[in-house]
Structure 1
Amino acid sequence: MVLPVIGLTTYREVAAYGVWQQRADLLPSEYAGAVTAVGGVPLLLPPTDVEGAAAAVVARLDGLVISGGADVDPSRYGAEAHPRTAGWRPDRDAWELALLGAAADVDLPVLGVCRGMQVMAVHAGGQLDQHVPDLVDHESHSPGGPEYGSVPVATVPGSRVAGLVGERVEVSCHHHQSVRTHPGYRPAAHAADGVLEAIEAPGDRFCVGVQWHPETAADVGLLAGLVAAASRSRRAGATPSADR
């Protein structure tokens, strides 16, 4: 059996390791561990600005995860920056938007995680709310520092997300922004306070975004769903990989 290859977009940050402190391409190991646990092979995808790189990479993948990270540049969706919006990475924004475009061209299975869901909405022409506490008057979705918030979520009956994680689920969140509009996607889950916590594309293609972090939880139903979809696409020949 040939295992499906799942691309994972990465941070590019100054990092300290061993005797070094320098710019590095990195991603929390939970992502790769979760992909491996459900039968996929993780492949890290650092930001790349070479023309045609996104299409070349997607042609060699069976599935794609747009990972969590910094805020999306508000200019990408025609907005001024909120005082709490900071730290956006133009190189990463451009790379992930290009990957999403290339993935759509070949119906590649995609999962967006936290920031990843927001990038998916922006790629589709949507808008973001730049600071969730302005909407709900609490900070449970992002309590600060390295701590995740624990948020109860209800999925939309009949949605792909509901089929993967169930009717209700307690999720690990770390997002101070959220999706306001999402052209071409339908809502798939909401927090009890009304914040949109998941979107999905209609039809047969696996294209799902969630505001929570499934890679940190014992239940990896979403990643299992992505890997299963990637395996089906590989068998059907929809996503040509390097060894074919």
Structure 2
Amino acid sequence: MVTTKPPNDSRPLIGLTTYLERTSFGVWETEAAVLHGGYVEAVTRAGGIPVLLPPIGFGHAELAAALDGLVLVGGADIEPSRYGQEAHPATVTRPGRDAFEFALLDRALADGVPVLGVCRGMEVLNVAFGGTLTQHLPDRIGTTDHQPAVATFGLTDVRLAEGSRAAAILGATTKCRCYHHQAVDELGAGLQAVGWAADGTIEAVEVPGRFVLGVQWHPEQDLDDFRLFAALVAEAGKG
């Protein structure tokens, strides 16, 4: 049963979405709700309490009410019908995860919960705000720089907009570990693009005036720099 945070606990509860995948651990090979440990470590180092959220079809309002902050993590592609397109051959989806995350995000936004979207999570934000995606970025830019090979991160220099929340956290530029073959195409209404790669790919978006921030890269892969998670935890702690 989901309960609210005890009033004497000063560390914010930060929800981390998970995903159901066929997984091997110990002597078992089974479907499990899983998440890269880097997210848990980053939230912990930032002073938050990580709470893993399995992709279920109910309880979104209760979860949002119990959380102080939310991280929409990376993973599979969003079902293209959500933004009015047919699937590209390279698109790989998890519709059940989509249903959970879009419903949870809707409640979190309505409740004023601070949100950080990571890679896929930024794409969820954009589609939730009415935007569209480029389904296979190499078709547009002609390179695989943002996802060089299977399980290989690309290094991308990102320029951040002066005066943006992202720049206030990270500075004018930041070097990022990217692993994405999709990207923002049409920007969702109410979002601002605040970060760009040298090839023009949008790498960060945010909602002005509130902590709703999406980054196309993977900050959980660099545990020596957890500033984005620290900023989320700090904002979540104000509630």
TM-score range, shorter chain: over 0.9
Residue 211 of structure 1, aligned match among 216, 220, 237: 216
Residue 46 of structure 1, aligned match among 33, 50, 54: 54
TM superposition shift of 1:134: 1.3
In the alignment, which residue of structure 2 is the partner of 1:77? 83
TM superposition shift of 1:35: 0.3
In the alignment, which residue of structure 1 is the partner of 2:37? 29
Q: Is the 8 A contact 2:115 2:212 kept in 1?
A: yes
Q: Is the 8 A contact 2:38 2:220 kept in 1?
A: yes
TM-score of the superposition, structure 1-length normalised? 0.92
**Counterpart code for 1:98:** A
Q: Percent identity?
A: 49
TM superposition shift of 1:92: 0.4
Q: 2:173 matched to 1:168?
A: yes
Distance 2:125 2:47 in 1: 25
In the alignment, which residue of structure 1 is the partner of 2:26? 18
TM superposition shift of 1:34: 0.3
In the alignment, which residue of structure 2 is the partner of 1:8? 16
TM-score of the superposition, structure 2-length normalised? 0.94
Distance 1:168 1:198 in 2: 12
Residue 223 of structure 1, aligned match among 216, 219, 229: 229
Q: Runs of 5+ in structure 1 lacking a partner?
A: 234-244
Distance 1:11 1:100 in 2: 15
Where has structure 1 moved over 4 Å in runs of 4 or more?
A: none
Residue 225 of structure 1 aligns to a residue in which SS? helix
Residue 238 of structure 2 aligns to a residue in which SS? helix
TM superposition shift of 1:14: 0.4
**Counterpart code for 1:105:** A
Q: Runs of 5+ in structure 2 lacking a partner?
A: 1-8
Q: 2:146 matched to 1:151?
A: no
Deviations 1:26-59 (A, max 9, x none): 0000000000001000000010112xx1110011
Residue 104 of structure 1 aligns to a residue in which SS? helix
Distance 1:124 1:94 in 2: 15
**Counterpart code for 2:202:** L
Question: Which aligned pairs between 1:103-114 and structure 2 lie closer than 5 A?
Answer: 103-114=108-119
In the alignment, which residue of structure 2 is the partner of 1:194? 200
In the alignment, which residue of structure 2 is the partner of 1:185? 191
TM superposition shift of 1:135: 1.5
TM superposition shift of 1:6: 0.1
**Counterpart code for 1:45:** L
TM superposition shift of 1:98: 0.5
In the alignment, which residue of structure 2 is the partner of 1:134? 139
Distance 1:232 1:144 in 2: 41
Distance 1:134 1:152 in 2: 21
